[in-house]
Amino acid sequence: MATHIPLFPLNTVLFPDGLLPLRIFETRYMDMSRERMKCNLPFGVCLIKEGKEVGTPAVPEEIGCLARIVDWDMQQLGVLQLRNRGEQRFRIIAQSVGEQGLISASVEMIPADEDGPVPGEFAACAQLLRVVIADHEGGVFAEPHRFDSATWVGNRLAEIVPVTPSARQKLLELSDSRMRLEILHKFLAQRGLPGFAAA
């Protein structure tokens, strides 16, 4: 069943349970944010395929992630600071552009990955996240921290590894948690990270 949502094309990729801070000043997104907060509804975040974040509506990637506003602030007049959390992935079926340049889309939800424990050969992935969290005093990822979840560990690593946005998009599109972990583990092993043995 299709769901109708406003879209926010960005030069970043949002994953389920990921945190996304946004600084909003364009009228179309200010209005969208107010409406979404009032109704407690999510909006869609998609990586930009063509175009820019500001100005003329960009062309979004087909697969994105729902984002729900969990906190907001306006310390500077006309600039809205949002803290958002990723929810379910979706696929765009059809889209249109409103008068203000806001993209709306009919989307179908993508089922969550089949989850399971982190396989032993990828334990270094979970350990790396523990180190990152300790170095940043825990604030880099939303709680709860699920180190025993292959999906959670893969999604969190995919957010922080130094890859291009298009490569991150490919990781978002995968529906196999083990495969995502395998790709990330291989990438980190190739970079010579301690604890990551090359296959």
pLDDT tens-place string over residues 120-148: 999 999 999 999 998 887 578 999 999 99
Tokens of 75: 């310390």
Residues 6+ apart with CB under 8 A from 4: 104, 105, 106, 107
> Do 7 and 104 reside in the same domain of the chain?
yes
> Do 147 and 92 reside in the same domain of the chain?
no
Would residue 195 count as lying in a domain? no
Instruction: Identify the band that residue 1 occupies on the pLDDT scale cut at 50, 70 and 90.
Output: low
Task: Give the mean model confidence (pLDDT) for residues 18-31.
Answer: 94
Would residue 99 count as lying in a domain? yes
Number of H helices and E strands in the chain, helices first, is: 5, 7
Positive/negative CA dihedral, 57, 88, 164, 135:
positive
Distance CA 169, CA 176 (A): 14
> Do 10 and 37 reside in the same domain of the chain?
yes
Q: What predicted TM-score, i.e. pTM, was given to this entire model? A: 0.92
Q: Supply the range of the domain harboring residue 143.
A: 120-190
> Do 104 and 127 reside in the same domain of the chain?
no
Q: Which residues pair with 60 in a beta bridge?
A: 48
Would residue 154 count as lying in a domain? yes
CATH number at residue 130: 1.10.4060.10
* DSSP run (H or E) holding 95: strand 79-97
> Do 102 and 169 reside in the same domain of the chain?
no
Question: In terms of pLDDT, which residue wins out, 123 or 196?
Answer: 123
- Tens digit of pLDDT for each residue in 158-190? 999 999 999 999 999 999 999 999 999 999 998
> Do 66 and 19 reside in the same domain of the chain?
yes
Would residue 134 count as lying in a domain? yes
Q: Quote the number of domains for the chain.
A: 2
CATH number at residue 7: 2.30.130.40
Does 191 have pLDDT greater than 70?
Answer: yes
72 in Cβ contact with 23 (< 8 Å): no
Would residue 198 count as lying in a domain? no
Does 198 have pLDDT greater than 70?
Answer: no
> Do 90 and 148 reside in the same domain of the chain?
no
- Tens digit of pLDDT for each residue in 66-112? 999 999 998 888 899 999 999 999 999 999 999 888 999 999 999 99
pLDDT of residue 62: 97
Tokens of 192: 């010579």
> Do 86 and 13 reside in the same domain of the chain?
yes
- Given 85, 109, 133, the domain boundary residue is 109
